[in-house]
Amino acid sequence: MNAPVSMPSVLSIRPEAAEAPESGIVEVANYGRGREGLIPLWVGEGDLSTPGFICEAATRALAAGETFYTWQRGIPDLRQALARYHERLYGKPSDPERFFITIGGMHAAQIAVRMVAGAGDEVVIPTPAWPNFSGAITVAGARAVAAPMTADERGWQLDLDRLKGAVTSRTRALVVNSPANPTGWTASLDELSAILALARSRGLWIVADEIYARFAYEPALMVDGRAPSFRDVMEPEDRILFVQTFSKNWAMTGWRIGWIEATPALGQVIENLIQYSTSGVPVPHQRAAIAALVEGESFVAHQIARARRGREIVVGGLAATGKVELPAPPGAFYAFLKVKGVADSRRLAMRLVDEANVGLAPGTAFGEGGQGYLRLCFARKAEDLEETVRRLAPVLRAI
Amino acid sequence: MNAPVSMPSVLSIRPEAAEAPESGIVEVANYGRGREGLIPLWVGEGDLSTPGFICEAATRALAAGETFYTWQRGIPDLRQALARYHERLYGKPSDPERFFITIGGMHAAQIAVRMVAGAGDEVVIPTPAWPNFSGAITVAGARAVAAPMTADERGWQLDLDRLKGAVTSRTRALVVNSPANPTGWTASLDELSAILALARSRGLWIVADEIYARFAYEPALMVDGRAPSFRDVMEPEDRILFVQTFSKNWAMTGWRIGWIEATPALGQVIENLIQYSTSGVPVPHQRAAIAALVEGESFVAHQIARARRGREIVVGGLAATGKVELPAPPGAFYAFLKVKGVADSRRLAMRLVDEANVGLAPGTAFGEGGQGYLRLCFARKAEDLEETVRRLAPVLRAI
């Protein structure tokens, strides 16, 4: 985490706003943005722009004049398409009333956090973690409590006792991200059941971030070709809020469209929170999202195959330098690598921009346990990743 | 204001979320949505879809693959274009560093409120007012305090003593919307100076909503063809946050793109609040916004001329029924009409959907002082507004 912003005290703004830290990812990305020939692997997006059939659905909607305000929960056709998609992916009946369209996964997270936590509350997050959850928790006036995971030669492991130990009387929710950004940790069904049992016994909400569910690489850990999900172990009355996005599966990061899946009993509350934050999602984007769900399976398969190949190149290539610790991640599309002998990964990330012309995110951006690590996104064409390894190797070897 | 949502207590969500009221506008719009032949004048948008030259800028950006994450503050070209636009409109030098692109004016308001108010704080708002400010204040954990305006045969007047009287030791900000939604009240330069003096003397922020600045109809009240602005009376060190949108001038309600104008000293804080709520605005939309600013003046003039004609039709036509009180509003594009002998304007709005096939917003949606009123948006073609008067007249006369 970076330090809160300092500013003239005469401006006297609220601590929740002033204390929201600068994203350590954005900081480095801003440092290197626009450098000639840089390979940008710092943010969580691939190199493919959105497929034409998705863009064209938006273009058609614009041309048809769909430029007006719309349903705050999302257009019925998209909520319906999401229910069908979930039925295919998870093999269980679903319901359009469970889905609420948001301005990206971040907005889904903001709304989920706003529902479950505020002043005086704590939310527990296994770390290292995507920093934006703790950012949203801070902005909501609550406190993000880290439950550090452990890393060994097999990879990252959830320490369930540490998770239990982080829960206090003030805890209102657990954030569970599996497959995880940045570590690739992927919960087994048994782990999901254990987390759910903890949440039930302590009366906690679970905010479930399963946006990388389809990027899973270890058959022994998988269910029907995807990562295990809370949907595989939950009961309808369990208090779970799923936050989701079109960004990753369908290469739509820049569109800002995602969704919340929740019990329909929360429908009016979620509608109100959408109304008072963004007032809905552009209809052309919702039409594009329908195209993604209905016609996008071969593109998703292509993305997964590329990520699988990217993972091989990066894990193998960096291991060969002898300077990094990097067990192959079982899920998501990041290599979270520990550089031997490096104490300051933020400085190293800046140095790799300058000396290797490669953009990686510093582990310090991901909270407790991230120091000494770098995150590399391997959702990219093989040539770029091979070139990345070639550029990084000499710099790493010289450390 | 509508009642907070009731739900099973087992869901135990935060009061800030549960207490955000359902929008009274959306409630009626949902009631009537999809009715054959209904003339929808309930929400703040006109009947024109976004002009082709704006849509085409977005389409070109999509086709060019601009579908990735971008600058959290907005792309430099758009911030530059906004500075130039402000220089033209307000006749003073500006600076791109003052502008921060958001997901619509609502998102700008959410961020402005989050910076200045939280638990234990109060924000004063002259009412009747656009309900979404008090919604955002509630969600932020603060309290919206109404300072009711007064209505007489000349129209709505700000009661400055009442505004002063509403300020307590807990007040952190004043929300000032001029020209106002729904009343059309438009502050004079003297009134803006008096409000600013109050804010300075009590150490308050002003959240300035001047989104209808170009929809002004009374030459005696106007400055350079627009409504007076805090920019005309402020000093650089004054604590004013301007919230703005592309929705109204350029018929872009459905796009969800707006901006905050603020001191550059708040830049990092605003960037962080964007990061942890929506993570930026789609680049194609930002390209469209540039087209609007650079090529959109004749379209804006056309919209203003239509609204001016719409105002004449509605004010004259409804006055002729003898059943409404409706002084001509000096700004914005709403008729806020009082129906004689009506106690429940929410019920009346539903009745007008059923009996006149016209959608109006109930005055109760706009807080204290709104009971008995209805809001009608006249940013629409003359034929529709003439038909509206024809449909409403017999129902109003029968009351």
* Domain CATH number, residue B387: 3.90.1150.10
Residues 6+ apart with CB under 8 A from A102: A108, A111, A257, A258, A259, A260, A274, A278, A281
- The answer to whether the CB atoms of A281 and B256 lie below 8 A apart is yes
Using an 8 Å CB-CB cutoff, list chain A residues near B13. 115-116, 266, 269
Residues A119 and A182 in one domain: yes
Whether B345 and chain A come into contact, CB under 8 Å, resolves to no
Q: How far is A341 from chain B (nearest CA, A)?
A: 32
Instruction: Give φ, ψ of A206 to 5 degrees.
Output: -110, 125
Q: What is the pLDDT of residues A144-189, one digit of tens each?
A: 999 999 999 999 999 999 999 999 999 999 999 999 999 999 999 9
Omega before residue B4 within 30° of 0, cis: no
CA-based nearest residue to A306, from A390, A384, A237, A239: A384
> What does each C-alpha distance from A63 to A135, A280, A290 come to in angstroms?
38, 20, 17
Quote the CA–CA distance of A24 and A6 in Å, as a whole number. Answer: 16
The answer, for B120 touching chain A at a CB cutoff of 8 Å, is no
Interchain proximity B67–A58, CB inside 8 Å: no
Q: Are residues A192 and A218 in the same domain?
A: yes
Chain B residues within an 8 Å CB radius of A103: 103, 256, 278
Amino acid at A320: A
Tell me which amino acid residue B284 is. Answer: P
- What averages of pLDDT result for each successive group of 10 residues across chain B (399 residues)? 54 90 87 92 95 98 96 97 98 97 98 97 97 96 97 94 98 98 98 98 98 97 97 96 98 98 96 97 98 98 98 97 96 97 93 96 94 96 98 94
The token duo for A219 is: 């058959």
Specify the pLDDT at position B63: 96
Residue A188's SS3 state is coil
Q: Is A6 on the interface with B (CB under 8 A)?
A: no
B43 and B173 belong to one structural domain: no
A4 found inside a domain: no
For range A252-268, the mean pLDDT: 97
| Whole-angstrom distance, CA of residue B368 vs CA of residue B238 | 29
Q: Name which of B59, B70, B251 is nearest A59 (Cβ-Cβ).
A: B59
Backbone angles phi, psi at B154, to 5 degrees: -85, -15
Instruction: Please name the residue ranges forming H helices in A203-344.
Output: 267-275, 283-295, 297-319
Same domain? For A61 and A135 the reply is yes
Q: Which two tokens stand for residue A342?
A: 């490096």
Please check the confidence at residue A2 and state whether its pLDDT lies above 60. no
Q: Looking at CA atoms only, how far is residue A359 from chain B in angstroms?
A: 15
Smallest Cβ–Cβ distance between A276 and the set B20, B62, B237 belongs to B20
CB-CB contact of A144 with A126 (8 Å): no
Min Cα–Cα distance to chain A from B230, Å: 18
Cβ distance of B69 and A139 shorter than 8 Å = no
Helix (H) or strand (E) holding A148: strand A143-148
3-state secondary structure B122-147: EEEEEECCCHHHHHHHHHCCCEEEEE
Residue among A13, A43, A254 whose CB faces B115 most closely? A13
Smallest Cβ–Cβ distance between B276 and the set A10, A115, A132 belongs to A132
For chain B, say whether A112 makes contact (Cβ under 8 Å): no
Is A121:A111 a contact under the CB 8 Å cutoff?
A: no
Q: Looking at the domain assignment, is residue A1 inside a domain?
A: no
Rounded (10°) angle between helices A283-295 and A76-90: 30
Strands A373-377 and A150-152: unpaired
Q: Looking up tokens 């030669």, which residue turns up?
A: A153
Q: Which residues of B touch A237 (CB under 8 A)?
A: 10
Assess whether B230 and B347 both reside in one domain.
no
**A277–B277: do the CB atoms touch at under 8 Å?**
yes
Q: How far apart are CA B188 and CA B155, in angstroms?
A: 14
CB contact under 8 A, B254 and A26: no
**Residue B1 covered by a domain:** no
Number of domains in chain A: 2
Is the residue at B283 inside a domain? yes
Preferred mutation among A235, A277, A281, A287 to probe B, highest tally of B CBs within 10 A:
A277
In angstroms, the separation between the Cα of residue A155 and the nearest Cα of chain B is 29
Residue B9 counted as domain residue:
no
What pLDDT, on the 0 to 100 scale, is given for residue A7?
Answer: 56
- Name the phi and psi angles at B160, rounded to 5: -65, -35
The answer to whether B119 contacts chain A (CB < 8 Å) is yes
Residue whose C-alpha is closest to residue A311's, from A236, A231, A212:
A212
Residue ending a domain, among B241, B270, B296, is B296
Q: In this complex, is the C-beta atom of A38 within 8 Å of any C-beta atom belonging to chain B?
A: no
What is the C-alpha to C-alpha distance for residues A301 and B318, in angstroms, rounded to an integer? 60
CA A46 to chain CA centroid, nearest Å: 13
The answer for residues whose C-beta is within 8 angstroms of residue B303's C-beta and 6 or more apart is B46, B48, B249, B251, B379
**Assigned domain for B128 exists:** yes
Would you state the structure tokens that stand for residue A98, as one six-digit string?
């469970």
Q: Which of residues 251-270 of B touch A (CB under 8 A)?
A: 251-256, 263, 265-266, 268-269
Q: Looking at chain B from residue 127 to 166, which residues have their Cβ under 8 Å from any Cβ of chain A?
A: 132, 135-136, 138-139, 141
- From edge to edge, which strands make up the β-sheet containing A99-102? A99-102, A258-261, A240-245, A205-209, A171-177, A122-127, A143-148
Q: How far is the CA of B158 from the CAs of A292, B183, B201, B209, B231, in angstroms?
A: 51, 11, 19, 15, 19
B16, B138 contact by CB (below 8 A): yes
Where helices occur in chain B by DSSP H, the ranges are 15-18, 24-32, 52-63, 76-90, 104-116, 131-139, 160-166, 189-202, 267-275, 283-295, 297-319, 345-356, 382-397
Nearest-neighbour CA in chain A from B138: distance (Å):
9
What sign does the dihedral B302-B303-B307-B310 (CA atoms) show? Answer: positive
Q: Which residue of B has its CA nearest to A138?
A: B276
Q: How confident is the model at residue A381, as a pLDDT?
A: 97
Q: Tens digit of pLDDT for each residue in A353-391?
A: 999 999 999 999 999 999 999 999 999 999 999 999 999
Please tell me whether residues B147 and B228 are part of one structural domain: yes
Examine the fold and report which residue of B260, B281, B296 is the final residue of a domain before the chain moves on.
B296
Is B398 part of any domain? no
Structure-token pair, residue B245? 């949108």
Neighbours of A380 (CB within 10 A): 24
Q: Residue A308: name the closest of A217, A226, A372 by CA.
A: A217
SS3 A120: coil
- Using an 8 Å CB-CB cutoff, list chain B residues near A123: none
Mark whether A118 and A22 lie in a shared domain. no
Same domain, A292 and A383: no
Q: Which residue of A has its CA nearest to B117?
A: A14
Most B-contacting residue of A134, A250, A260, A275 (CB-CB within 10 A), to test interface? A275
* Nearest-Cα residue of chain B relative to residue A49: B65
Residues of chain A in contact with residue B45, where contact means CB-CB under 8 angstroms, are: 68-69
Predicted local distance difference test score (pLDDT) of residue B33: 83
B98 token code pair? 């003052």
The pLDDT of residue A69: 94
Do A253 and A165 lie in one domain? The reply is yes
Per 3-state DSSP, chain A is made up of helix, strand and coil in percentages (nearest 5) of: 45, 15, 40
Closest Cβ–Cβ partner in A22, A106, A254 for B66: A254
Please tell me what DSSP assigns to residue B95. Answer: -
Q: Which of B20, B66, B141 sits opposite A273 (nearest CB)?
A: B20
Instruction: Give chain B's largest Cα–Cα span.
Output: 58
- Tell me which residue of A101, A288, A65, A61 sits closest to B252, measured CA to CA: A65
Which of A272, A274, A377 should we substitute to test contact with B (largest number of B Cβ atoms within 10 Å)? A272
Q: Return mean pLDDT, chain A.
A: 95
Three-state secondary structure call for residue B21: coil
Chain A and chain B share a number of CB contacts under 8 A equal to 236
Which among A248, A228, A168 has a CA at the least distance from the CA of A204?
Answer: A168
* Chain A residue closest in CA terms to B15: A115
Q: Is residue B68 part of a domain?
A: yes
C-alpha distances out from residue B153 to B18, B324, B328, B334, B369, Å: 39, 12, 10, 17, 16
pLDDT-derived band at A27, boundaries 50, 70, 90: confident
| Residue A275 Cα to chain centre, angstroms | 24
Q: Does the distance separating the beta carbons of A50 and B65 come in below 8 Å?
A: yes
Phi and psi dihedrals of A136, rounded to 5? Answer: -65, -35
From CA A34, how far away is CA A54, in angstroms rounded? 27
CA B376, CA B337: separation in Å to the nearest integer?
8
My answer on whether A106 and A235 are in the same domain is yes
Q: B141 vs A135: CB contact, 8 Å cut-off? A: no
CB contact burial B58-70 (16+ within 10 A = b; e otherwise): bbebbeeebbbbb
CB atoms B50 and A43 under 8 Å: no
The residues in B 358-397 lying below 8 A from A, measured between CB atoms, are none
Tokens at B370, concatenated: 């709104």
- What spatial distance separates the first Cα and last Cα of chain B, rounded to whole Å? 24
Last residue of a domain, one of B296, B312, B334: B296
Alpha carbon distance A57, B235 (integer Å): 47
CATH number of the structural domain spanning residue A226: 3.40.640.10
pLDDT digits (tens, 9 = 90+) for A278-328: 999 999 999 999 999 999 999 999 999 999 999 999 999 999 999 999 999
Of B73, B72, B99, the C-alpha closest to B85 is B99
- Has the ipTM of the complex gone over 0.90? yes
| Partner B, chain A 185-244, Cβ-Cβ below 8 Å | 203, 237, 239
Residues of A in contact with B63 (CB under 8 A): 55, 59
Q: Out of B8, B255, B276, whose CB is closest to A20?
A: B276
Residue B2's pLDDT is: 47
Q: Which domain holds residue B195?
A: 52-296
Stretch (H or E) spanning B199? helix B189-202
Contact B136 A276 (CB under 8 A): yes
Instruction: Mark whether A69 and A205 lie in a shared domain.
Output: yes
Are B127 and B253 part of one and the same domain?
Answer: yes
